[in-house]
């Protein structure tokens, strides 16, 4: 059963494409890396359908500006599509492909096939990774709102929390900690907002140990105020200062990434305020994108190289 947040079913079949000499083989996988708006309509040579189809055509450039392709589909044949789309006055400007799902397999997989063999008015937005992000179904007698489909696509592409009636250019509800954003500038706003909810504020007085060399790693820290000293104890008991941390600096990631005990100690030089992120929250940050994982891998490499 098709569900939001799950991979879209495979789509393969013949499609009508304006200007093509015959059916074009269409496979949904060829659009990987782009957003896909797939809409089903009941039948060719009907009354409501051309109004919807033409509306998608009129907004096709707007969808393309959002990195999306439009694909129409019905259970009619390629030849039925060809006869209708190349003769009906409302459809002469339609340029996107229209799938001929004569086997009914695609309509069945997307849960829009009716008993009589037609497809209900179903609209699906599929993201560049092939995941279904939006589904709407309309009864046959009511046409869909194509402008609303475009708005939903635009909202999904922000990756943020969009309130009711949100329009491009308006504020979203996504809020995040500015210190986190400065420390990890490549994180998406969505990940920043989710991670902000997991941050804990911790405070230390001057001279307090944040952690000792050899401790088990449990958190990642961002320094908000004060100064902290990173040091190691030499065999004779003397201390070797490695660096002084200032507001905006972060530390503690090496132990979490390497799953090794702390390689140095951290002590408050003055009153400290830190933001702490536990292991589970930090792991989700690292796994949130390839860029994040690569950034932290490079940080670990550089810090270990410095000793």
Active site (catalytic) residues:
49
Calculate ∠ Cα 28-30-33, nearest 5°: 100
Sheet strand arrangement including 132-138: 24-27, 12-16, 98-100, 68-74, 35-40, 121-126, 132-138
% helix, strand, coil for the chain, step of 5 = 30, 25, 40
On whether the CB atoms of residues 132 and 124 are closer than 8 A, the answer is: yes
How many other β-carbons are positioned within 10 Å of the β-carbon of residue 225? 13
Q: Cα separation of 174 and 217, whole Å?
A: 30
User: Can you tell me whether residue 69 is helix, strand or coil?
Assistant: strand
CA distance 68 to 83: 27
């Amino acid at each position: 059963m098709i569900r939001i947040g799950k991979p879209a079913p495979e789509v393969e079949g013949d499609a009508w494409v304006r200007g093509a000499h015959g059916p074009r083989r269409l496979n949904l996988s060829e659009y990987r890396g782009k957003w896909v708006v797939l809409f089903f309509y009941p039948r060719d040579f009907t009354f409501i359908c051309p109004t919807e189809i033409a509306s998608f055509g009129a907004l096709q450039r707007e969808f393309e500006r959002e990195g999306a392709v439009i694909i129409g589909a019905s259970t009619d044949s390629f030849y039925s599509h060809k006869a209708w789309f190349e003769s009906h006055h409302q459809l002469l400007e339609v340029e996107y492909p229209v799938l001929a799902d004569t086997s009914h397999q695609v309509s069945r997989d997307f849960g829009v096939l009716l008993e009589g063999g037609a497809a209900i008015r179903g609209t699906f937005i599929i993201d560049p990774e092939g995941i279904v992000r939006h589904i709407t179904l309309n009864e046959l007698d009511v046409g869909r709102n194509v402008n609303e489909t475009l708005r939903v696509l635009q909202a999904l592409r922000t990756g943020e929390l969009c309130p009711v009636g949100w329009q491009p250019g308006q504020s979203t509800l996504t809020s995040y900690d500015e210190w986190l954003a400065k420390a990890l500038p490549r994180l998406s706003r969505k990940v920043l907002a989710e991670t902000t909810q997991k941050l804990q504020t911790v405070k230390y007085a001057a001279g307090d140990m944040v952690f000792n060399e050899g401790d088990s790693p449990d958190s990642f820290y961002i320094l908000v105020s004060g100064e902290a000293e990173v040091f190691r104890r030499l065999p004779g008991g003397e201390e070797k200062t490695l660096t002084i941390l200032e507001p905006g600096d972060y530390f503690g990631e090496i132990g979490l990434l390497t799953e090794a005990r702390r390689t140095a100690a951290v002590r408050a030089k003055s009153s400290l305020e830190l933001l702490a992120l536990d292991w589970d929250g930090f792991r989700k940050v690292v796994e949130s994108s390839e860029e994040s994982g690569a950034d932290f891998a490079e940080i670990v490499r550089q810090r270990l190289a410095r000793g």
